[in-house]
Amino acid sequence: MADARRVADDLLTVEDFYAFVSDGQKADLIDGVIYMASPDSRRANDLTGFLHWLLRGFLERRGIGGKVVFSRFAFRLSEFSAPEPDVAYVRPERVGLIGEGGMRGGPDVAVEVVSRESRHRDYDLKRQLYEEAGVSEYWIIDPIQKRVEFLLLEEGRYQLAPLDENRLFRSRALPGFWIDVDWLLADPLPPATRCLEDVLRTEQ
């Protein structure tokens, strides 16, 4: 199980974070504390791959540009905070902020797939962190509780996004992209290729 721990007595900086956490180990630096992630469950791994494939496929098919990253990629929000969303999207005009070791600033869309050990971080700590950093959209996908929240930044605060037909979310940060909550809660997940074709065929 993951643990939250200080590796030193004082708050850790982003430089400390990179020094202490080995390449390939998923972790978050939040307010000077490193949170080590436990290995993905089968379900969480499937969801992360599904979302990454859908978003990247949408960008490529529409020729939009921008960048989709997943897991183990840090966003430097401050001297003491560098979270690693499960999946994230960065608009084309901000791709220049991405470096080899992470990005300066937050993504435009951050996605977290909730696990038992990450619930407090995902629903509370990261919500506040992403809100303060001006992340336009925050998607929380909780396969354990069969719950999905799409949060939109409005006047500096997150508001729960309305869903068309109580299940379809249409992104503002990535116009034309939509996703069906039923896809995210299905187990097994539907074929990603079919879902992408649905999005491309009916985008508005």
Q: Which two tokens stand for residue 176?
A: 């034309």
Reported pTM: 0.92
Ranges of each domain in the chain = 41-202
Helices H / strands E in the chain, number of each:
6, 14
Question: Is pLDDT larger for residue 26 or for residue 112?
Answer: 112
Q: What is the structure's pLDDT at 28?
A: 95
At 132, the amino acid letter reads E
Q: Helices 42-62 and 192-202 sit at what angle, rounded to 10 degrees?
A: 40
CB 158 within 8 A of CB 148: no
Residue 162: cis peptide before it, omega within 30 degrees of 0: no
How distant is the alpha carbon of residue 81 from its chain centre? 15
Sheet containing 137-142: give its strands across.
Answer: 67-70, 87-90, 109-113, 137-142, 147-154, 157-160
Q: What is the structure's pLDDT at 203?
A: 60
Structure confidence by residue, pLDDT tens digits, 120-162: 999 999 999 999 999 999 999 999 999 999 999 999 999 999 9
Question: Right CATH number for 41-202 from 3.90.1570.10, 3.40.630.40, 3.60.10.10, 3.40.720.10?
Answer: 3.90.1570.10
Alpha helices in the chain (DSSP H): 14-20, 42-62, 119-120, 126-133, 181-185, 192-202
Q: How far apart are CA 21 and CA 6, in angstroms?
A: 12
Q: How far apart are CA 129 and CA 28, in angstroms?
A: 11
Structure confidence by residue, pLDDT tens digits, 127-138: 999 999 999 999
pLDDT (mean) for 183-202:
96
Q: How far apart are CA 186 and CA 2, in angstroms?
A: 26
